[in-house]
Amino acid sequence: MNHLAGIDPILALSLAYWQQSLIKVGIVAIVVPTAALILGYVFLLKMMSFMQSRLGPMEAGPYGLLQLLADGAKFIQKEDIFPDAADRRVFALAPVVVLMSTFLLYLIIPVGPDAISANFDTGIFFALAVSSLSVIGILMAGWASASKYSLLGGLRAAGQLIAYELPLVLAVVGVVIQAGTLSMQGIVHAQATGEIFGFGWLGSPYILTQMLGFVIFMIAVQAELTQPPFDMPVAESEIVGGYQVEYSGFRFLFFFMGEFGTAFAFAAIASVLFLGGWWLPGFDADSNWLNVLGPIVMFVKVMVVSFFIFWIRFTYPRFREDQLQTFAWKFLIPLALANIVLTGIFKVVL
C-alpha cells in the first residue's frame, strides 16, 4: 500500500492520490494560521497579560478574541515598504522562506493512527532537516535589510540557531534509540505499547525515561524559536527587532506567523516524542476512536507544552551572545551526548 496515503481509511472513501494531496494541503494551509492564532491569543495576549497583572485586549470581540484577526487585517492593509538600499528580491523572499519551513513542519505531525499528512519512515529526521531551513530565511532577512541593526541580528541568529541545532538533534537521538524507529507513528506506537518495569497501563511515555532528553529538547526548542532567554537575534531593547526591524505590513505578519506556527509545531513534535502523541491510556493503539479523539488529545498536550515554553519566555532575562554559545557548546552538547550513551547502555542491558 502506498505509504503516503493517509485519508483513505478515515473517510472510508476511495480517493485518488491527487484528491488526497489536495485535501491534505488544504488542511495544513488552514491549520497553520489557526494554530498561530490560538497560541498567540491564549499565551501572548492572555497568559502574558495575567502574569503581568493586567487584562490584555478586551475590546475587539468578547474578551478580545478577535484582536489577532484585527491585527492581521491591519498588517495586510499597510504600505509595502522597501528600504532604499535593500536587495529587493532577497528582502521579499526572506519571510516566505521562513514561513515555508513552518508549513513543511506540519506535514509529519500525527493526530491519529491514520491521520497524518505524510507518513514517512523517517518522519522526525525530515522534521529536523526542514526546521533548519528557517536559518537561511533569517540570514536573508538580516543581510538584505541593509541596516546595521538587522545585520547584527542576522549574524547573531546564524550563530545561535546553528549552535542549538545540535542539542535538538542529539536529544531526539535518545528517543529514537529507545523507540527503534525514526517514523513519527512508530514512535507513538512504541510509547503506547511499551511498558515501564512491567507496568503497562500508562504505556511508556518517554518523558519519564528520557527526562534529561526532554529538558535538553525544550531548551533547544526555546533557542530555535529565538524566544527569551535566547532571543539575542530579536533583542528588543538593544537592536529593536534585529533581522525583523525593517519589515512591516504582511511581511512582518509572515515572520509572526512563522514564529508562532513553529512554536505550535515544535510543541506538537515534543508531545509526540515525549508525551505519547495522540495515544490515551486505556485505548488500543490502532483503535479507530483515536482518529476522532486523537486531535483533541494532541491539542491538550500541545497546550501544556506551550504553556511551559511561554512561561519561561515571560519570566527570564536574556543571555548575552557569548554566554548563549558557551551554554550550548560546553554544557548542552556534552549532556546530550551523555544522554545518548546512557540510553544506549540501558537499551542493550534491559
Partner 1 sequence: MATPTLPERSQLAYIASQAADSRLNVEIETEGMTLNIGPQHPATHGTLRIVAKLDGEQVIAAEPIMGYMHRGYEKLSEVRTYPQVTALVNRIDWMGSFANEVPFILAAEKLMEVEAPPRAQWIRTILFELSRIANVVLFLGDMAVQVGAITPVFYAFRDREYVLNQIEAVTGGRFHPNFDRIGGLKDDLPAGWIADTKAVLTKVDAFCDQLDTLLLGNEIFQARCRGVGVIPADVALSYGLSGANLRASGVDHDLRRDDPSGLVHDQIDWKVWTHPDGDSFARYWVRLQEVREAIKMVGQLLDGIPSGPIMAKVPRIIKVPAGEAYVATENPLGQMGYYVLSDGDLNPFRVKIRTPSFNNISICPWLLRGVYVPDIVTILGSLYFILGDIDR
Partner 2 sequence: MPKPQVPGLIKGLGVTFKEMLSPNVTVQYPHEKEDPAPRARGVIALHEENCTSCMLCVRECPDWCIYIEGHKYLAPPRREGGKPRQRNKLDRFDIDYGLCMYCGICVEVCPFEALFWSPEYEYSEPRLADLLHDKTRLGDWMGTVPDFESYESGSEAKPKKVPR
> How many Å apart are CA 13 and CA 24, to the nearest integer?
15
What phi-psi label fits residue 256: left (phi over 0), alpha (psi between -120 and 50 degrees) or beta?
A: alpha
Considering the complex, state which of residue 25 and residue 51 has its C-beta at the smaller distance from partner 2: 51
Q: Which stretch binds partner 1 (CB under 8 A): 210-218, 228-236, 328-336, 340-348?
A: 228-236
> How many Å apart are CA 277 and CA 270, to the nearest integer?
8
328 contacts partner 1 (rule: CB under 8 A): no
Nearest-approach distance from CB 133 to partner 1, in angstroms: 26
Tell me if 154 sits within 8 A of 242, measured CB to CB: yes
**Axis-axis angle for helices 133-144, 250-274 (nearest 10):** 160
Alpha helices in the chain (DSSP H): 7-11, 17-39, 48-51, 67-76, 88-105, 123-131, 133-144, 148-179, 184-193, 206-209, 211-224, 250-274, 289-315, 321-326, 333-349
Binding to partner 1 (CB under 8 A) within 125-184 occurs at 146, 148-149, 152, 156
Residue 329 near which of partner 1, partner 2, none (CB within 5-8 Å, type-dependent) = none
C-alpha cell at 194: 511499551
61 contacts partner 2 (rule: CB under 8 A): no
Phi, psi for 323 (deg, rounded to 5) = -65, -40
Among 62, 237, 348, 350, binds partner 1 (CB under 8 A): 237
Residue 311 near which of partner 2, partner 1, none (CB within 5-8 Å, type-dependent) = partner 2
Nearest-approach distance from CB 315 to partner 2, in angstroms: 5
Q: Which stretch binds partner 2 (CB under 8 A): 83-91, 102-110, 184-192, 319-327?
A: 319-327
Binding to partner 2 (CB under 8 A) within 320-339 occurs at 322-323, 326-327, 331
Considering the complex, state which of residue 195 and residue 322 has its C-beta at the smaller distance from partner 1: 322
47 contacts partner 2 (rule: CB under 8 A): yes
Nearest-approach distance from CB 323 to partner 1, in angstroms: 6
Phi, psi for 56 (deg, rounded to 5) = 80, -175
> How many Å apart are CA 137 and CA 7, to the nearest integer?
32
Nearest-approach distance from CB 85 to partner 1, in angstroms: 5
Considering the complex, state which of residue 50 and residue 346 has its C-beta at the smaller distance from partner 2: 50
User: Number of C-alpha atoms within 13 angstroms, CB side, residue 328?
Assistant: 28
Three-state secondary-structure class, residue 152: helix
Residue 152 near which of partner 1, partner 2, none (CB within 5-8 Å, type-dependent) = partner 1
Give the interface with partner 2 as residue ranges (CB under 8 A): 47, 49-55, 58, 311-312, 314-316, 322-323, 326-327, 331
Give the interface with partner 1 as residue ranges (CB under 8 A): 51-54, 85, 146, 148-149, 152, 156, 228-229, 231-232, 235-240, 314-323
